[in-house]
Amino acid sequence: MTDAVAQARAGGHGIGAFNVVLLEHAEGIVRGAEEAGLPVVLQVSQNTAAFHGALEPVTLASLSLARRAAVPVVVHLDHAEDVDLVHEAVALGVDSVMFDGSRLPWDDNVATTRAVVEHCHAAGVRVEAELGEVGGKDGVHAPGVRTDPAEAAAFVEATGVDSLAVAVGTSHAMTTRDAAVDTDLVARIAAAVPVPLVLHGSSGLDDAGLAAVVRAGMTKVNISTHLNALFTAAVRDVLAADPRVVDPRKYVGPGREALAAEVARLLRLLHG
């Protein structure tokens, strides 16, 4: 994770991070990365683990696809609030984790995140944390409050995290691409913080917005809802065209292909 993200940051590039919900998501994401010839991050969230009833099956499948890929593929635990889940992910062999302690008071957030960092670093696993309120989820600040550059620098120094997700105007689960990001704030945080920055809720940004945040200093860019919408639209098209279809491969396959094509396009856009 450090190599892939650090190399992107050093080169002024963005790296796409896309959420795995079904096995076909992981397959499509890897296929799109191979088409683009660029590294990618496969993200398995705490919510996805709950959906499948366990973290292990979907994570091991993602790790298997990563090992077989023709490009670097990072497998990442996303938005974990449960420290035990972080420990399980590390034992399974993930490359990085995102521990979200944003619901905790500042002192508890720092202490817990620091303990997570120590555990993960001992196993060679990198840690992402979040500071600020990204819309669509509850966090440590009131909704709409942006990440303060000085506070971000202090948090990174106190915890030792390897990357930091910041609140600069995006919101989780947006189905329209009309979010407005404060790129001046992105640049100020990037100048203050010595680790790569992460943008959550990036489905709400259009192509110009995605390119602008990378130019301003954002490195890892998380996109999920936008891809899910394309996947679902392809499935709907097949079922609407022929209501007699019952084989899931007949409609999930086109969803996977639509996702793969957009992943390839987005990776090229973010890379610049």
- Annotated catalytic sites, by residue? 78
Q: What are the structure tokens assigned to 126, written together?
A: 């990198």
The answer to whether the CB of 41 falls within 8 A of the CB of 4 is: yes
H helices present in 105-206, as ranges:
106-122, 149-159, 183-192
Phi, psi for residue 74 in degrees, rounded to 5: -95, 135
> What is the rounded distance in angstroms from the CA atom of residue 180 to the CA atom of residue 201?
11
H or E, element range at 47? helix 46-52
**Which stretch of DSSP H or E encloses residue 83?**
helix 83-92
List CB contacts of 88: < 8 A, sequence separation 6 or more: 55, 56
Contact 131, 151 (CB under 8 A): yes
Residues paired with 218 in a beta bridge: 197
